[in-house]
Structure 1
Amino acid sequence: MRFAVTYRIFAATEAEARQRAAEIALEQTVEVPRDVVPDGYIADEIIGRIEEVGRESEATFRAVISYSPDSAGFEIAQFFNVIFGNSSIQRGLKVIDIALGATMQARHPGPRFGIEGIRRLAGRPTGGMIAPVLKPQGLGADALARIAYLCAKGGADIVKEDHGIMNQPMAPFRERVEKTAAALARAERETGRRALYFPSLPGDPQDMDANVRFARDAGADGILIMPGLLGFGIVARIAADERLAMPVMTHPSFLGPYVLSPDTGFTHAMMFGTLQRIAGSDISVFPNVGGRFGFTVAECQSIADACRSTSGPGRAMLPSPGGGMSVERAGDMARMYGSDVVYLLGGSLLRLGDDIGTGITAMRQALDEVEREQG
């Protein structure tokens, strides 16, 4: 079964839009002029097939182009290459939707855990989840582990490392993971409740597999990955590894240029929702409205919807807004996002020092109050 990609084409006329769609269908597959395409299988199956072109607005058109799974192969890199390879270098073209079809859905089943699996691991069956971030860069492993301990004692559901902490000499990955996992285990013994731990995966390719296994064996529950830097293929490989069986959280670092232009790249929902799900992420981090990154309410809601849509690829995943998050905004954010969400808390908690737990408790109370309001 073919899969279909919907493009937003910026064009003055429908004829121009149809011409561009025909060029995309060639560019994303055979990358040769139409008159030199061999007859038979390549012409009939491999070339992208224009299924629909229709006006979207005065200056834009929606073009649906279907592709053969044979063109995409079995690797996520080539799959994404067909979705938006060379055409991503052109102006006036944006990817706004994808329908996987049964064949590609089977090849890329999506999140291993999803919303239900993460809730089960965290012991939080309902309500928004609280995830303080270990930072800032420059602290040693002992100091980061102490923050993790205070967060877990205070009732955090997830403790994640900041994406900027990887394998620097101040807090090397393996030392940091061992000490943080031990601190969280201590908090669990004292409270009877586990906070899931997601360390940030360093980027050296030759050490990546060994580091993931080290983290698992040391007591980490999941792993934080930056697909913009490490690649969506790394996300897919770790998510699919049955021996690891570790949930994956993805971070948006380096992905901003894919979404910030109004007429090129991907929609926010596609990049931080759909593509992350296809790769197998269980939790997708993205910049929150009102923070320092400038995403709008509509953009953030579209991301959350794409993460949780029951018609999306594979299991529904958890959206995780971060930046500008605080206890004071918790109620408004809960009303905006609903209950299936992971809230990242960074600087607002660190201001509390040893009283981080009081901030987490206040956040929990605010989220629970909204959940009661909503029935």
Structure 2
Amino acid sequence: MRFSVTYRIAAANLAEARLRAEGIALEQTVEVPADVVPAGFIADQIVGQIVEIGAEAEGRYRATLSYSPESAGFEVAQLLNVIFGNSSIQRGIKVIGFAPGATLAARFPGPRFGIAGVRAACGRPEGGLIVPVLKPQGLGADALATLAYAFASAGADIVKDDHGLADQTSAPFRERVEKISAAVARANAETGGSTRYFANVAGKFDQIEGNLRFAADAGVGGLLVIPGLLGFGLVQRIAADASLNLPVMTHPAFLGSFVQAEDSGISHGVLFGTLQRLAGADISVFPNVGGRFGFTEAECLAIAKACRTPDGPGLPMFPSPGGGMSPDRAAAMRAMYGQDVAYLLGGSLLRHPDRIADTIAAMRRVLDTA
């Protein structure tokens, strides 16, 4: 069964939009002019096919194209290449929809844990998850472990590395992971809690595999991946590994330019919802409305919908808004997003380190209010 991608195309009229759509169909598959395409299987199956096309607004059209699963193979990187490889370099083309179809849905099963699995792992059957972030960059491993212990002791559901914690000399990856894992385990043993520590995957390319195994052996409760830097394929690789059996959180760093323009790139919901979920993420981090990054409420809700819709690829996953989050905003965010959300807490906790427990408790009370 073929999969489909919907594009927003800038064009003066329908005829021009169709020409551009025909160009996309070739560019995303065979990358040769139409008169060079071999007849038979390649022309009939491999070349993209226009399913429908129509006006969206003045100077703007929507075109849905279908592609053969043969073009995508079994790697998420190649699937992304078909969805928006060379066409991403052209002006006036934006991916606004993606439907995997039955064949790709079977090849790319999506999240290993999803919302239900992450809830079970955290011992939080309902209500939003509270996710404090370990920062800032420059702290040593011992200081970060002390902070993680305070977060876990206060009842955080997940404690995650900041995406800027990689393999720096101040807190080398393996030392940091080992010490923070031990600190969170100690807090859980003392409180009876189930806080999970998500370590930010770091290291040179030839170190990644070893670092994944080291993190799992050290007792991490999940892994943070930056697909814009390390690749969506790494998310797929972790999600598929039963021996690791760890949930994956993805971070949006380096992907922002894809969503900033109205007439190019990829829509917010597709990039931070559908594609993260397709790759196998269980939690997708994105900038929250009202923070310092300028995402609108509509864009954030589109992401949340794509993360949780029952007809998306694989299990529904947690949307994870971050930026400017505090107990003061929790009620409004709960009303906006609903229950199945993982809320990042950063500066609001670190601003008053002596009140970490009070801040997390206040956040919990608001999120658990009926």
Bin for the TM-score computed over the shorter chain: over 0.9
Partner-residue secondary structure (3-state), 1:12: coil
Partner deviation per Cα, 1:295-318 (whole Å, 9 max, x = no partner):
000000100000000010000000
Distance 1:60 1:5 in 2: 16
Deviation at 1:59, TM superposition (A): 2.0
Give the Cα separation in 2 of the matches to 1:41 and 1:274.
30
Aligned to 1:77: 77
Return the offset for 1:272: 0.2
Q: Does the 8 Å contact 1:327/1:359 carry over to 2?
A: yes
State the match for 2:282 in structure 1. Answer: 282
Match of residue 128 from structure 1: 128
- State how far apart, in whole Å, the 1-side matches of 2:190 and 2:272 are: 37
SS in structure 2 of the partner of residue 115 of structure 1: helix
> Do 1:226 and 1:253's aligned partners in 2 also have CA atoms closer than 8 Å?
yes
- Corresponding residue number in structure 2 for 1:59: 59
Match of 2:227 in 1: 227
Letter in 1 for 2:240: A
How many residues are matched?
Answer: 370
User: In structure 1, what is the Cα distance between the partners aligned to 2:32 and 2:91?
Assistant: 20
Which stretches of structure 1, 4 residues or more, deviate above 4 A after TM superposition? none
Summarize the alignment of residues 292-307 of structure 1 with structure 2, pairs less than 5 Å apart. Answer: 292-307=292-307
AA partner of residue 260 (structure 1): Q
Aligned to 1:216: 216
CA distance in structure 1 between the partners assigned to 2:28 and 2:183 by the alignment: 49
Alpha-carbon RMSD across the aligned residues, in angstroms, is: 0.7
Partner of residue 138, structure 2: 138
**Partner of 1:156 in structure 2?**
156
SS in 2 for 1:56: strand
Q: Distance in 2 between matches of 1:296 and 1:156?
A: 27
Give the Cα separation in 1 of the matches to 2:99 and 2:201.
31
SS at match of 1:199: strand
Q: Determine the structure 1 residue equivalent to 2:171.
A: 171
Residue in structure 2 matched with residue 115 of structure 1 by the alignment: 115
Q: How does 1:356-375 map onto structure 2 within 5 Å?
A: 356-369=356-369, 372=370
Give the TM-score taking structure 2 as reference length: 0.99
Following the alignment from structure 2 to structure 1, what is the Cα–Cα distance between the partners of residues 269 and 12? Answer: 26
Q: Deviations over 1:221-248 (max 9, x none)?
A: 1100000000000110111111111100
- AA of the residue aligned to 1:221: G
Does the CA contact (< 8 Å) of 1:150 and 1:354 recur in 2? no
Could you say which residue in structure 1 is the equivalent of 2:11? 11
Q: How far did residue 355 of structure 1 move?
A: 2.2
Tell me the CA shift for residue 77 of structure 1: 1.0
Structure 1 residues not aligned, in runs of 5+: none
Note if contact 2:203-2:211 (Cα within 8 Å) is conserved in structure 1.
no
Correspondence for 2:263: 263
| 2:124 aligned counterpart, secondary structure | coil
Q: Do structure 1's residue 97 and structure 2's residue 97 form an aligned pair? A: yes
Residue of structure 1 in register with 2:20 after alignment: 20
Of 123-132 and 70-79, the range deviating more from structure 2:
70-79
What is the aligned partner in structure 2 of residue 68 from structure 1?
68
* Aligned partner of residue 9 in structure 1, secondary structure: strand
Counterpart of 2:347? 347
The Cα shift of 1:351 comes to 1.2
Give unpaired runs (5+ residues) of structure 2.
none
1:325 and 2:340 equivalent? no
- Name the stretch that deviates more: 154-163 or 56-65: 56-65
Q: Is the 8 A contact 1:112 1:247 kept in 2?
A: yes
Q: How does 1:176-187 map to 2 (within 5 A)?
A: 176-187=176-187
Question: Deviation of residue 361 (structure 1)?
Answer: 0.3
Within-5 A mapping of 1:243-254? 243-254=243-254
Aligned mates of 2:185, 2:241 — CA distance in 1: 25
Q: Which amino acid aligns with 2:293?
A: F
AA partner of residue 64 (structure 1): T
With normalisation by structure 1, the TM-score equals 0.98
Shift of 1:75: 1.1
2:196 alignment partner in structure 1: 196
For residues 148 and 274 of structure 1, what CA distance do their matches in structure 2 show? 31
* Alignment check: 8 A CA contact 1:203 1:230 kept: no
| C-alpha contact 1:160 1:197 (8 A) present in aligned 2 | yes
Q: Report the alpha carbon displacement of residue 328 of structure 1 after superposing the two structures with TM.
A: 0.8
How far has the Cα of 1:354 moved from its partner? 3.0
Amino acid at match of 2:72: A
* Structure-1 separation of matches of 2:352 and 2:50: 57
TM-superposition CA deviations, 1:36-76 (whole Å, max 9, x none): 11111111111001110011112211101000111111111
- SS of the equivalent of 2:253 reads coil
